[in-house]
Amino acid sequence: MEQRRLGAHDIEVPVVGLGTWRRLEDAARAGEHIGVITAALDAGVRFFDSSPMYGRAEELLADALGDRRPDVVVADKIWTDSAEEGRRQLQRALAYFGGRVEVMQIHNLVAWRDHLRTLEEAREAGRIDLIGATHWSAAAFEELETVLKTGQVQTVQIPYNPFEREVEARILPLAQDLGLGVIVMRPFGEGELLNADPGDEAIGFLQPFGVRSWAQVLLKWVLSDPRCHVAIPATSRPGRVRENVAAGSPPWFGPEERETVARLAALRRKR
């Protein structure tokens, strides 16, 4: 799998990571969360994203990583409108992940001014490496730009897929200009894009790029934009983790292939 630096920073990660929104709890209910994380680690995944918003996901992730925790980059979040609770969430994350979190993000920009102060203090103390900001909605991108322009964050997490391309207008160019690490959530559009699968025949022309499934096509579509450093699809199935990882190696799509994939997805969406 290709490795990319998180923007201008020293942390380097394989381009396919793992998100934990909903799916890790789903796996835990089936007694398989350790199996999912182990499959990811064995396949070369080294970047894991979580949040206190995701129920027990932080705890489950920490449990499943076990003694392999030093081998990975953990991206966690603060998600609360209370500065005091934000400090508690940070302390809980540090406790889960061995006293250090590589990327600590302000989830959906909630109370971001308060949390920036908390995270800057933690960074100065060496408890976190990078500060990030996230948002899932294009309606919040103007505020997200404001946060990025403070110069106080080093990563940004955004939705990007053939159905959600708003970040191409301003967020991705700004992130590139500022040297920010870019983490891509929702590469499958929360499942909507997987339902737009045009079939094996329609994507057969992409086989020289090493893709054999629509999910792999969608991941390669995201990662073929070099401004994107790691994508974090979530899954509760070990087999799907391995399938996703297979999309993380070159060759990458060019502009023509990317636009063809976007057209195929749009055609299926209209049906």
**pLDDT (tens digit per residue) in 158-199:** 999 999 999 999 999 999 999 999 999 999 998 889 998 999
DSSP 151-198: T--SEEEEE-BTTB-GGGTTHHHHHHHHT-EEEEE-TTGGGTTGGG--
Q: What are phi and psi of 34, to 5 degrees?
A: -65, -35
CA distance 127 to 186: 28
pLDDT at 271 over 60: no
Provide the CA 154 distance to its chain's centre, in angstroms. Answer: 15
The region, left, alpha or beta by phi > 0 then psi within -120 to 50, assigned to residue 266 is: alpha
Residue 270 has a pLDDT of 59
- What residues have CB less than 8 Å from 35, skipping those under 6 apart? 27, 238
Would you call the peptide bond into 251 cis, given omega within 30 degrees of 0 as the criterion? Answer: yes
- Mean per-residue pLDDT, 34-49: 97
pLDDT at 268 over 90: no
- What residues have CB less than 8 Å from 63, skipping those under 6 apart? 33, 34
For the beta carbon of residue 91, count every other beta carbon within 10 angstroms. Answer: 12
